[in-house]
Structure 1
Amino acid sequence: MEGGAEQTSSYTYWVRESTAEAAPLPVPKKLSVQDLSNQPPQPPVLGSLWNSAGTWEEKNLNKWATDRIKDLLRSIGSLEFTNGTAEVTKVSSCTGDAFLVTVRNKKRVGYTYELTIDVKGEWLVDGEKKKVKGCLDIPEFSYGEVDDLEVTVKINEGKDLPHQDKQSIIQDLKSFLQPLREKLLQFEQELKER
Structure 2
Amino acid sequence: MEAGAVSEKQTSSYTYWVREATSEAAPLPVPKKLSAQDLSNQPTQTPVLGSVWNKAGTWEEKNLNKWASDRIQELLSSIDPLKFTNGKAEVTEVSNCSGDAFLVTVRNKKRVGYTYELKIDVKGEWLVDGENKNIKGYLEIPEFSYGELDDLEVNVKINEGKDLAQQYKQSITQDLKSFLQPVREKLSQFEQELKER
Seq. identity, %: 76
Closer, same or farther in 2 for the Cα pair 1:168/1:44, shift >3 Å?
A: same
User: Is 1:181–2:184 an aligned residue pair?
Assistant: yes
- The equivalent of 1:131 in structure 2 is 134
- The equivalent of 1:19 in structure 2 is 15
Using the size of structure 2 for normalisation, the TM-score is 0.83
User: Is 1:168–2:164 an aligned residue pair?
Assistant: no
Once the two structures are TM-superposed, the CA of residue 190 in structure 1 deviates from its matched residue by 0.4
Equivalent positions of 1:144-159 (< 5 A) are 144-159=147-162
Once the two structures are TM-superposed, the CA of residue 41 in structure 1 deviates from its matched residue by 1.1
Once the two structures are TM-superposed, the CA of residue 38 in structure 1 deviates from its matched residue by 1.6
- The equivalent of 1:30 in structure 2 is 31
- The equivalent of 1:67 in structure 2 is 70
CA contact (8 A) 1:123 1:130 kept: yes
Closer, same or farther in 2 for the Cα pair 1:25/1:173, shift >3 Å?
A: farther
Closer, same or farther in 2 for the Cα pair 1:148/1:29, shift >3 Å?
A: farther
* Structure 2 unpaired stretches of 5+: 1-12, 19-24
Count, aligned residues = 177
Once the two structures are TM-superposed, the CA of residue 96 in structure 1 deviates from its matched residue by 0.2
Distance of 1:124 and 1:172 partners within structure 2: 13
CA contact (8 A) 1:59 1:101 kept: yes
Displacement over 6 Å in runs of 4+: none
Aligned partner letter, 2:34: V
Once the two structures are TM-superposed, the CA of residue 32 in structure 1 deviates from its matched residue by 3.8
User: Is 1:104–2:107 an aligned residue pair?
Assistant: yes
Aligned partner letter, 1:67: D
- The equivalent of 1:42 in structure 2 is 45
CA contact (8 A) 1:159 1:166 kept: no
1:124 aligned counterpart, secondary structure: strand
Aligned partner letter, 1:192: K
Structure showing greater Rg = 2
Distance of 1:77 and 1:144 partners within structure 2: 24
Using the size of structure 1 for normalisation, the TM-score is 0.85
CA contact (8 A) 1:130 1:158 kept: no
